[in-house]
Amino acid sequence: MSATDCAACLHRWPDPACRIADLGPAVLYLHDDQFFPGWSVLVLKRHATELYELAREERSALIEVVSRVAQVLAATYGARKMNYALLGNQIPHVHWHLMPRLAADPAPDSPVWSVRHAPLRLASGELAARAAAIRQALTA
């Protein structure tokens, strides 16, 4: 896959309604399934598939943003533990899933992907409010 047929590069994914903030080398979105509150997706602005395709400085800058977002999400949601994952099996464009795991979530010891659940799509107002709260925490 190249930039010309990549859903991220073509701005078909993530949904613009989920956008939180522009963070330099990447853009932060809420995941469209908010069953795990605060689950966010950080998408690299340029097309790359693997971490090792980036230059060292680019990789370092990206991991700084990953780290900063994780810290803010952890504080905002009172996370027991943060989870960080770069998979890209379906959309092979570098993006990080950043998931605050709460003590009260249904299986805090397990990866989110082993927890069967119905996806929780927020109403537009609630989605915007959640994105705004994270945006504000990032700029505080």
How far is the C-alpha of 65 from the C-alpha of 24, rounded, in Å?
8
Under rule CB under 8 A, residue 109 binds a second copy = yes
Q: Are 35 and 118 in contact (CB under 8 A)?
A: yes
The minimum distance between CB 25 and a second copy, in angstroms, equals 13
| Structure-block tokens of residue 2 | 């190249």
The four Cα atoms 15, 20, 25, 31 give a dihedral, to 10 degrees, of -50
Site for a second copy in 43-72 (CB under 8 A): 49-52, 54, 56, 59-60, 63-64, 66-68, 70-71
The minimum distance between CB 136 and a second copy, in angstroms, equals 19
Element (H, E) at 139: helix 124-139
Under rule CB under 8 A, residue 19 binds a second copy = no
- Give the binding site for a second copy (CB under 8 A): 49-52, 54, 56, 59-60, 63-64, 66-68, 70-71, 74, 81-90, 92, 101, 108-114
